[in-house]
Amino acid sequence: MKLAKKLARIATSFVVVWGFSVCAHASVVIAGTRVVYNQSEPEVTVKLTNNGKVPGLVKVWLDKGDPDARPDTIEVPFTITPPLMRIDPTKSQTLRIMFAGEPLPANKESIFYLNVLEVPPKATGEAASANQLQLAFRTRIKFFYRPSSLQKQPVDAAGQVVWHLKQDHGKTLIEASNPTEYHVSFDSVSYSDGTRTASFIDGGMVAPGETKDFPLKGDVPSSGKVAWTVINDYGGPQHGESRLAP
């Protein structure tokens, strides 16, 4: 109970001890950059590994899109086991995430975010007397719930996005409309005629049925093709080209 209360407080503030020097590196890492939960599966597992030299205290939770929401106020239709844990150096812990059966849309993916908060142990000995800043580190990755009723393949979703160029206060934007049931996570987008190129490289996600504008930087051609890179289910890049819609 004391550990749970401590981690709940730190999940909001993140800073443990103020001082003059900084110890700033996360030791506990997640195996993967995103999680896909297929409805047909009874659960999904996620591996956490402590690559550091000291034990890590870890709190895990899902949020619905607000990174500032307090973990104890969030209600999601999933159960995570274990939600609190200690992971020793070089050791791993496997999370089990189970769907609680509460209704979610059956005609499209739903997105949540998996949070892993690592709290460094209290300094002892010489380290305890040194002026330093110890931080609690949070890693937050996308967590997709994929209904079994979806018929099309997620790998094909990016190629079905509809593109338009538009102007807004003198700036050129490229508009992406996603008609598919899947979230499409763009790493970069460019518009080029082979000589002139304008790009957006900051990344962005377009949800099912959503339209999003990406500001282009560079020399915008009068005609050309859209080249895009998206992040697939495995965290790797998928490249492709599209034409502007009429």
The segments of the chain whose pLDDT lies below 70 read 1-25, 123-134
pLDDT for res 124? 63
Name residues whose C-beta falls within 8 Å of residue 27's C-beta, 6 or more positions apart in sequence: 50, 51, 52, 53, 54, 56, 89, 118, 120
pLDDT for res 101? 84
pLDDT for res 21? 38
Q: How far apart are CA 189 and CA 216, in angstroms?
A: 8
Burial 15-38 (b: 16+ CB within 10 A, else e): ebeeeeeeeeebbbbbeeebbbbe
Q: How far apart are CA 223 and CA 196, in angstroms?
A: 10
pTM for this structure?
0.86
Supply 219's token pair.
């020399």
Residue-range domains of the chain with CATH: 12-146 (2.60.40.10), 154-242 (2.60.40.10)
Contact 111, 59 (CB under 8 A): no
Burial 88-106 (b: 16+ CB within 10 A, else e): eeeeebebebebeeeebee
Burial 140-158 (b: 16+ CB within 10 A, else e): eebbbbbbeebeeebeebb
Percent helix / strand / coil, the chain, rounded to 5: 10, 50, 40
Q: Which of 189, 177, 169, 193 is nearest to 237 (CA)?
A: 189
Residue 3: left (phi > 0), alpha (psi -120 to 50), or beta? Answer: alpha
